[in-house]
Every structure is written in structure tokens, then in C-alpha cells.
């Protein structure tokens, strides 16, 4: 069983899908590891470290030759996979809804594409969940990015020259990224509040020492989608939330938005009028900017200034912490393959619950129900 680790080709992608740690673990299972030269450079992992761990390091052609499994952070270009074994597995974050043509090309080439972001949110798959591991880092980095753009201090400071008030931070969307953003902003000394459409998150917000901001008088709308994700809100709830947020957001110094709905554009949480209501010098970080943005006026890959308010729209935020993000991502991949490794077969054999959830292509065609719907 040969596993290939490729150097990422997408602009701005600094992560890598395996580390020397996971290389050693795969070899211990009986696999052969091949790593493309320079694959770990942007994550501060030298080729020599992979070689020392037992991998062969070479050019792309040598890395792919006869590979049974190809690991990636983002899905590799199907045209660049010549030489892999027939029916090879492509295991990566494949962005199936936005990259439909690429998925169809995997099918046409006979590859079995496994989308790690489709991993079901069940207990035994927690250690395989790339969305959670990478979102955790995104929430942390969002607060640091806000602090870097904010022209003032986060904590209250009492000095002989007077007192500096603590920054007021508001987190919108309390999933994995939002919870980490709350915790990080609290650690930096900000006064933190948060909101979410899921009523179940109230206690999580309070447990981190933040103030929950919730719509109280719209009954029967919990916002709980499938698999623990938020669903779409009714027009009544959206109107009530907009009114509540408008009054709160005008008083904030920092706002971080994290709301995503799988397979759909990011919900619009902050309008241009709400941005205009904020004080000059305030900062908004839109973590959903690449899916259309939670904030009106945010631009992917840019920091824009609107009426003195900075709107931060960095792309691929986990990649901005490439070394740690790679360590977590690569462990997710190893945990996944290790959980299904059949020692007699010398390869992983998937079960129906997880295999059917993440498998996009098989036998030359699309097979995932979420793509066929």
C-alpha cells in the first residue's frame, strides 16, 4: 500500500497533508510513504525530516507512481495525477459543491474521491473531523487578526495616567470557530458577548464567561440543522435577529462572524447599515468571506475600510497557522485511515456509515447522495 503526499498547488495554501509524525505512524501500519519534494516547506517541515521518518522524497511523478492513496489538503488537479494505481483513493478536503467539475473528473478517471469535510459528526469520527480541527484554529486566528488591525488594547489597563477601557467583542456564530474566538478574546481581556441561532449554545457561551445575546420572543425556531450545523432561519427570526443585533453591534469594538451553512452561501449577518453604525476604528473579521461572506462589503483576500471600520476578509485562515494546522489536519487523515486499516488486507476497508458519507465517486461515477440530490 503506497501513500502519496503531494505539495499543494493552490495559491496561498501553506498546509501539508502529512507530517513526519504521521509518516512514521503510517509506516508502522505497513504502508510505504512517498512525499513530493518541498511538500512541507511552507509548513516549516524540511524534506530531510520526512526522509528521516522513513518516507521517500522525490518529484511528483515518482511520488505518484503506483500510489494507492493520494493525500492532500485541498483536492489535487485530476490532470496532475498520472501514474497512480487504478481506482486510487483521493483523500482530502474536496469542496464538492463548489468544485463539481473536478469531482466529475475524478469519477471519469476511475478514482475514488473521499471528501473529508463530509465526515459525519458522530462520536467515533470526532478525531477525523477536519472541519472542527481547522475551525478551532480559525477562531483563534480571527481574534489575533482583529487585534492586529485594532488600534487600541484589548484588556482594561489601569495606569497612573488613567484607565483604558476593555474592548468590547461580539462573536456571531457559536460553532467550533466561534467558541474558540470567545475563549481567545476573553484571554486577551476583552468584554465578550456572542449570539447564535441555536438556543442550545447559550450555556456554552456562558460557560466561557461571555454574555449571550439571543432573540427571546420568536417561538419554535431553534436553528438546529442536521449533524449539529445551523439551518436556515425563517423570515420572522431573521427580522427579529437583525433588530437585536443592530442595537448591540453599534456598541462593539470587535465583531467576528463565523456562520456557515454546508452547501449553501454564507448567511448575511451584518448589513452595510449596521457596519455604518459602528465607531470608526472598529474591526470586523468575516471568517465566511470565501463562501460569500457574513458581512456586506467584505472582500475575500482583502482588508477594506468602510466609514472608518475595517472589515477583514483573509482567505484560508487555517493556512495562516500552517505548522499547527498541518499537524492537526494530518492527524485527522491518519486517524481516519488507521480506524479502518485491515491488517490482513494491508489497506483500509471502509464501513457503510462513514464510507458512504464521505465517498463521492466510485466505479467511474458520482455516488454520494448529497451530490445526486
The tens digit of pLDDT for each residue in 110-162 reads 999 999 999 999 999 999 999 999 999 999 999 999 999 999 999 999 999 99
pTM of the model: 0.92
| Interval 82-102 mean pLDDT | 96
Query: Who's near 110: CB < 8 A, 6+ residues apart?
Result: 86, 87, 363, 364
pLDDT at 240 over 90: no
Alpha helices in 221-358 (DSSP H): 235-249, 272-277, 322-339, 352-358
Looking at the chain, the whole-number percentage of residues with pLDDT higher than 70 is: 95
pLDDT at 102 over 50: yes
| Interval 211-236 mean pLDDT | 63
Which residues have a catalytic role annotated? 121, 126, 129, 132, 229
**Mean residue pLDDT across the chain:** 93
pLDDT at 48 over 90: yes
Per-residue confidence band for 363, with pLDDT thresholds at 50, 70 and 90: very high
Q: At what angle do helices 176-187 and 130-149 cross, to 10 degrees?
A: 40
Per-residue confidence band for 228, with pLDDT thresholds at 50, 70 and 90: low
Residue 62 · residue 36 · CB < 8 Å: no
The tens digit of pLDDT for each residue in 165-198 reads 999 999 999 999 999 999 999 999 999 999 988 8
| Interval 214-233 mean pLDDT | 57
Closest CA to 32 of 60, 65, 4: 4
pLDDT at 290 over 90: yes
pLDDT at 225 over 60: no
Transcribe 187-223 into DSSP letters: HTT-EEEEE-S-GGGHHHHHHTTPEE----S-TT---
Pick the more confident residue, 254 or 267. 254
d(CA 347, CA 343): 7
d(CA 314, CA 301): 5
Residue 85 · residue 62 · CB < 8 Å: no
Task: Compute the C-alpha angle 270/273/277, nearest 5°.
Answer: 95
| Interval 292-302 mean pLDDT | 97
At residue 241, the pLDDT reads 72
Query: Who's near 217: CB < 8 A, 6+ residues apart?
Result: 240
Amino acid at each position: 500500500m503506497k501513500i502519496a503526499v503531494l505539495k499543494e498547488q493552490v495559491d496561498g495554501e501553506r498546509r501539508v497533508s502529512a507530517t513526519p509524525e504521521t509518516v512514521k505512524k503510517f509506516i508502522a501500519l505497513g504502508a510505504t510513504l512517498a512525499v513530493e519534494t518541498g511538500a512541507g516547506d511552507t509548513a516549516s517541515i524540511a524534506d530531510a525530516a520526512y526522509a528521516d521518518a522513513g518516507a521517500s522524497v522525490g518529484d511528483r511523478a515518482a511520488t505518484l507512481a503506483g500510489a494507492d492513496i493520494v493525500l492532500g489538503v485541498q483536492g489535487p488537479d485530476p490532470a496532475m495525477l498520472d501514474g497512480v494505481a487504478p481506482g486510487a483513493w483521493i483523500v482530502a478536503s474536496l469542496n464538492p459543491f463548489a468544485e463539481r467539475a473536478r469531482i466529475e473528473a475524478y469519477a471519469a478517471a476511475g478514482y475514488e474521491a473521499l471528501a473529508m469535510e463530509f465526515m459525519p459528526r458522530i462520536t467515533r469520527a470526532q478525531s477525523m473531523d477536519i472541519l472542527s480541527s481547522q475551525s478551532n484554529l480559525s477562531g483563534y486566528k480571527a481574534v489575533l487578526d482583529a487585534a492586529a488591525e485594532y488600534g487600541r488594547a484589548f484588556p482594561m489597563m489601569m495606569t497612573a495616567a488613567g484607565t483604558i477601557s476593555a474592548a468590547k467583542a461580539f462573536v456571531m456564530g457559536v460553532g467550533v470557530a466561534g467558541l474558540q474566538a470567545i475563549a481567545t478574546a476573553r484571554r486577551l481581556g476583552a468584554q465578550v458577548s456572542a449570539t447564535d441561532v441555536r438556543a442550545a449554545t447559550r450555556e456554552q457561551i456562558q460557560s466561557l464567561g461571555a454574555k449571550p445575546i439571543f432573540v427571546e420572543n420568536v417561538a419554535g425556531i431553534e436553528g438546529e440543522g442536521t449533524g449539529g450545523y445551523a439551518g436556515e432561519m425563517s423570515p420572522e427570526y431573521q427580522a427579529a435577529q437583525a433588530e437585536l443585533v443592530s442595537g448591540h453591534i453599534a456598541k462593539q469594538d470587535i465583531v467576528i462572524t463565523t456562520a456557515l451553512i454546508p452547501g449553501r452561501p454564507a448567511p448575511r449577518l451584518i448589513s452595510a447599515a449596521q457596519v455604518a453604525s459602528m465607531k470608526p476604528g472598529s474591526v470586523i473579521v468575516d471568517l465566511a468571506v470565501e463562501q460569500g461572506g457574513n458581512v456586506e462589503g467584505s472582500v475575500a483576500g482583502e482588508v477594506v475600510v468602510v466609514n472608518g471600520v475595517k472589515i477583514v476578509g483573509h482567505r484560508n485562515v487555517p493556512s495562516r497557522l500552517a505548522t499547527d494546522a498541518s499537524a492537526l489536519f494530518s492527524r485527522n487523515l491518519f486517524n481516519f485511515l488507521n480506524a479502518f486499516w485491515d491488517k490482513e488486507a494491508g489497506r483500509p476497508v471502509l464501513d457503510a456509515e462513514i464510507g458512504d458519507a464521505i465517498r463521492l465517486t466510485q466505479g467511474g461515477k458520482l455516488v454520494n447522495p448529497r451530490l445526486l440530490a
